[in-house]
Amino acid sequence: MIWWIALRAIMAREALRFVQQRARFVAALVRPLIWLLVFAAGFRAALGLAIIPPYTTYISYETYIVPGLCGMILLFNGMQSSLSLVYDREMGSMRLLLTAPLPRWFILSAKLVAGAAMSVLQVYAFLGIAALFGITLKPWGYVAALPALAITALMLGALGLALSSLIKQLENFAGVMNFVIFPMFFLSSALYPLWKMAESSQLLYRLCAVNPFTHGVELVRFALYAQFNAPALGWTVLALAVFMTAALRGYDPARGMMTKKG
Amino acid sequence: MRTLALLALIATPAAADEIWVTNERDDTISVIDADTLQVTRTINVGERPRGITFAHDYSVVYVCASASNAVQVIDPETGEILHDLPSGEDPEQFVLHPDGKHLYIANEDDAITTVVDVESRTVVAQISVGIEPEGMAVSPDGKTVITTSETTNMAHWIDTQTQTIYANTLVDSRPRDANFVKDGKELWVSAEIGGTVTVFNTADQTELSKIRFEIPGVLPELIQPVGFVLTEDEKTAFVALGPANHVAVINADTYEVERYILTGRRVWHMAFNADETKLFTTNGVSSDVTVIDVADEAAETTIAVGRFPWGAALRVTD
């Protein structure tokens, strides 16, 4: 029972933050929409060259970029939600949270799930607005995407958790933007297919291919077309496990940064 | 012998309808199963095959082998070339008269339209037309045949009784394809360089309307209308826009463009399947065929065929 209360409290807090910071919600939607409606417009015909799975025919760039922008929402949101822990730590509310008579892994997982749920909601809001602009998918694609979005959201949230255990001050968020979010986003299949990367640089292609964000995006891309991509799922789940382990270690009072800071 | 024939009948499952696509560069025809959307056969034909049309009873298929200067007659069952028809130089497109007997062939290099009797395999008439004739159409009553000439920029109206031209109408630059619409009341002509489709009143050969195209993000000079087809109810037209890599969907009553569908590169011609749920476009440069879902007005899949596919025709098998 107490587990449930704790999970609900963390969820409610996350939801509250989400609702109260309306500017953040709008910003989280505007960012991908700008990419979709402004950036993609300049590349309309850029991809009418090759057909790669899961697509079966030629697609416009707007269509290509949608899964990547879903990933962008999950990435930014996952980072923001997890890094809010740094803020909690500074403000002292984390101490309160951690005094709950529950194992730490559960509290962290609850935080992760709550953040992921908010991320997924935002993705659907984005897909809804994209549909209003005429960028639609088959109905079952929206349903099939749900588990893929959830797993990817968890994976990126776990990465954020792991990072948050290493960051001392909130000001370092800018550093995370520069050294984690941007490289992860640009060195992935979100904006360009991997074969296009391979055309210009093998090194970039390899970096993109090992980037867990690429696999998350591909998992979502296939799911949006009601197709299953086993390798992408495997890599995403593996990355989730690795990041979560790192986060648990980071927040382990015996080992992580927490002890050093007292 | 009879048992053998019977056995053969039993052994052959009811074949699906097919879409036949001429590959200009490969000198072949790719045969696509209209249900499974797979290429089931590749048939070798003469050089540079372009125009393709089936006999009304689908017993034979006629193919313009442009560089072989022949119209080839092929058995659609076996893919065997039965014989050539005397076609004149460089046949590009043709149209089969409703009588099923006369083939009107545009001879691109000779500025001539050749009329061939497919039964006696003889040339019945040769009609001088404008330079580089290409688009061919026949009215539903069979009384008028149209030849469009790419360089003269005209549609020539040929009386099939006398095999003479009775009218010439100017159209926009480089007319490529023509079709009679609405029981022959209208004639539509596409102009590749002009970037338009002109609608004529067939009664007095006057212009009724002109359809123009505009695709956001595509240079206007790339919008080059070539082949076009209309649904059986003649409410919707699909126009291939060449290097614009799109097919335009047009409301045939209002002449308004309703939608553009992304296809492969350099889309030339199209063919419907039998129930008109799917439309197959030949994409010349990307060497594939895009299948459009007609109800959704959206591209469904794209199938690789031979190099430089050009013409497309439906073969009904039962």
A57 has a chain B CB within 8 A of its CB: yes
Distance CA A148, CA A139 (A): 16
A56 has a chain B CB within 8 A of its CB: yes
Work out the pLDDT band at A179, boundaries 50, 70, 90: confident
Residue B239 resides in a domain: no
**Phi, psi dihedral angles at B113 (to 5 degrees):** -105, 120
What's residue A25's pLDDT? 79
What's residue B2's pLDDT? 53
Return the residue of A nearest to B260 by Cα. A60
Distance CA B250, CA B219 (A): 20
Residue B228 near residue B197, CB atoms below 8 Å: yes
CA distances from B268 to A117, A201, B62, B225, B237 (A): 48, 35, 19, 8, 15
The whole-angstrom distance between B175's CA and the closest CA on chain A is 26
A45 has a chain B CB within 8 A of its CB: yes
Residue B69 resides in a domain: yes
Work out the pLDDT band at A262, boundaries 50, 70, 90: very low
Burial of B5 per CB tally in 10 Å (0-12, 13-18, 19+):
exposed
More confident residue, B280 or A253: B280
CA distances from B205 to B154, B172, B187 (A): 12, 15, 9
Residue B106 resides in a domain: yes
The whole-angstrom distance between A48's CA and the closest CA on chain B is 7
Q: How far apart are the first and last CA of chain B?
A: 24
What residues of A are in contact with residue B299 (Cβ under 8 Å)?
57-58
Residue B260 resides in a domain: no
Q: How many independent structural domains does chain B possess?
A: 1
The per-residue pLDDT for range A148-178, each reduced to its tens digit, is 999 999 999 999 988 888 877 767 777 777 7
Tokens of B49: 């095959």
The per-residue pLDDT for range A22-33, each reduced to its tens digit, is 787 788 888 888
The whole-angstrom distance between B54's CA and the closest CA on chain A is 28
Distance CA B154, CA A160 (A): 68
More confident residue, B119 or A62: B119
B262 has a chain A CB within 8 A of its CB: yes
Residue of A41, A56, A59 lying closest to B262 (CB–CB): A59
What contacts B101, CB < 8 A, 6 or more positions away? B117, B118, B119
B222 has a chain A CB within 8 A of its CB: no
What contacts A125, CB < 8 A, 6 or more positions away? A29
Residues A56, B245: C-beta atoms closer than 8 Å: no
What's residue B146's pLDDT? 96
Distance CA A117, CA A11 (A): 9
Whether the per-residue pLDDT at A73 is higher than 50: the answer is: yes
The whole-angstrom distance between B197's CA and the closest CA on chain A is 24
Residue in B219, B262, B281, B290 to test binding to A, most A beta-carbons within 10 Å? B262
Residues B262, A56: C-beta atoms closer than 8 Å: no
What residues of A are in contact with residue B264 (Cβ under 8 Å)?
48, 58
Residue A208 near residue A188, CB atoms below 8 Å: yes
More confident residue, B15 or A125: A125
A51 has a chain B CB within 8 A of its CB: yes
A205-243 in b/e form (b: 16+ CB < 10 A) is: bebbbebbbbbbbbbbbbbbbbeebeebbebbeebbeeb
Q: Which range of residues forms the domain containing residue B81?
A: 45-212
Mean of all residue pLDDT scores within chain A: 85
Listed by number, the residues of chain B in 158-197 with a beta carbon closer than 8 Å to a beta carbon of chain A are: none
What's residue A255's pLDDT? 66
Distance CA B98, CA A126 (A): 55
Dump the DSSP string for A212-227. Answer: HHHHHHHHHHHHHTT-
**Phi, psi dihedral angles at A258 (to 5 degrees):** -60, -40
A58 has a chain B CB within 8 A of its CB: yes
Residue B19 resides in a domain: no
What's residue A48's pLDDT? 54
Residue B206 resides in a domain: yes
Q: What is the pTM of this model?
A: 0.82
How do the pLDDT tens digits run along chain B, 318 residues long?
A: 455 555 554 445 557 899 999 999 999 999 999 999 999 999 999 999 999 999 999 999 999 999 999 999 999 999 999 999 998 888 999 999 999 999 999 998 889 999 999 999 999 999 999 999 999 999 999 999 999 999 999 999 999 999 999 999 999 999 999 999 999 999 999 999 999 999 999 999 999 999 999 987 788 899 999 999 999 999 999 999 999 999 999 999 999 999 999 999 999 999 999 999 999 999 999 999 999 999 999 999 999 999 999 999 999 987
Residues A48, B300: C-beta atoms closer than 8 Å: no
Residue of B217, B286, B302 lying closest to A45 (CB–CB): B217
CATH code for the domain of B65? 2.130.10.10
Distance CA B234, CA B47 (A): 34
Provide ipTM, 2 decimals: 0.71
